[in-house]
Amino acid sequence: MTRSLTMDDLVLAGIALGAGLLGAFLLRMLLRWLGGHADRTRWGGDDVIVDALRGLVPWVATSAGAAGAGAALPLTRATQHHVNQALTVLLIFVATVAAARFVAGLVRSVAQSRSGVAASASIFVNITRVLVMAIGFLVVLQTLGISIAPLLTALGVGGLAVALALQDTLANLFAGIHILASRTVQPGDYIRLSSGEEGYVEDINWRQTTVRNLSNNLVVVPNGELAKTNMTNFMRPEQRLTILVQAGVGYDSDLEHVERVTSEVVAEVMADVPGAVPDHEPAVRFHTFGDSRIGFTVILGVGEFSDQYRIKHEFIKRLHRRYREEGIRIPAPTRQVSFQQGGAAIPHQRGAGAGEASGSGPLGEAARLPG
């Protein structure tokens, strides 16, 4: 110390430190008030800015108060230098964390506001955060007087060895970037892999893709495997899709009546069931003369892949009830069996339905065995 410490020095240092703490408290309250207003706006960028400033401004005010307190005390030149250097490193660290949070928040905000961009993929957020933190670390080293040129040279030389040791990790990283850049898969899409796994894509990070199936279990797929496998994306190019329901009626049915009744049920389901497409045009297509029925296909519109199960459930229940009310018969499958009696094979037609069991099936009367 160049001179002895006095009470005035302590009072001035305390005032400076107290002013810094008070300023940090007031600025934090101001930023909280600004954050409340930012939450009510449509633009997400102001939320990101306020959130980054919350972690930076109070520390700047506190560091300024600490610097003022240090200047008020009779410290030696070396001690003053170390104090200022420590405060500078602290500010650089806090600024780096705030910058990383700010840049990552902007990337996430831009991704969420644009279709076709990874709305919740953490891979881009993590990459930008790591880059900003690495730059801040190099600035801290330079501030401390440590030359970063040898470090960069060593990193360049050792990068090849690291790349060879982390081939699988780097392959998954670049595969994830390629998947997101090509827009083949985005978080929120429902996909089915050739290996049988299917579900909603939860996230695509630097190593793996997380898929949540309909039973709420998570399936983890490495990005490299996802890029190489055959895959069906049920959300692209359009989220809406059509599903096919197979049905059949007896040969004695009036097909015009069947088509009209089925179309009415389809329209009712499309209008009432959540997840259906209200403007879907009912479509009934007859296609097969079967052994015991005339087969047809009903085409239903669904909003997304997982809605099809609820829509099929409601459609089959309502169609079955309406057919019973209209007297339209849905015959059970039949099969031909032969009984050996006295050296002669006697054909006999069996059916699961009551009408066919009594010999009144649509293909004619069944042969009866003698008693």
Q: How far apart are CA 55 and CA 279, in angstroms?
A: 50
> How high is the pLDDT of residue 48?
72
pLDDT tens column, 94-112: 888 888 888 877 777 766 6
Q: Residue-wise pLDDT tens for the chain (371 aa)?
A: 456 767 777 778 788 878 888 888 888 888 788 777 767 776 666 677 777 777 777 888 888 878 777 777 777 777 777 777 888 888 888 888 888 888 877 777 766 655 444 444 566 777 778 888 888 888 887 777 777 777 667 666 666 666 566 667 777 777 877 787 777 888 888 999 988 888 998 888 778 888 998 888 999 988 888 888 888 888 888 888 888 999 999 999 999 999 999 999 999 999 988 888 888 888 999 999 988 899 999 999 998 888 889 999 999 999 999 999 999 988 877 666 655 555 555 555 544 443 333 333 333 334 333 33
- The tokens of 325 are what? 């009310």
Q: How far apart are CA 276 and CA 299, in angstroms?
A: 12
Burial class of 88 by CB neighbour count within 10 A (0 to 12, 13 to 18, 19+): middle
> How high is the pLDDT of residue 177?
77
Report the C-alpha dihedral over residues 126, 127, 132, 134, rounded to 10 degrees: 100
Q: Note if the bond before 74 is cis, omega within 30 degrees.
A: no
> How high is the pLDDT of residue 156?
65
**Looking up tokens 């330079």, which residue turns up?**
142
| Residue 232, helix vs strand vs coil | strand
Q: Rounded to two decimals, what is the model's pTM?
A: 0.52
Q: How far apart are CA 75 and CA 52, in angstroms?
A: 34
Sheet holding 198-204, edge to edge: 218-222, 208-212, 198-204, 190-193, 231-233
Q: How far apart are CA 223 and CA 23, in angstroms?
A: 48
Q: How far apart are CA 45 and CA 139, in angstroms?
A: 27
> How high is the pLDDT of residue 370?
39
Beta-carbon neighbour count of residue 131 at 10 Å?
12
Report H helices in 144-230: 149-165, 167-182, 223-228
> How high is the pLDDT of residue 300?
92
Beta-carbon neighbour count of residue 256 at 10 Å?
8
> How high is the pLDDT of residue 1?
45
Q: Are 195 and 229 in contact (CB under 8 A)?
A: yes
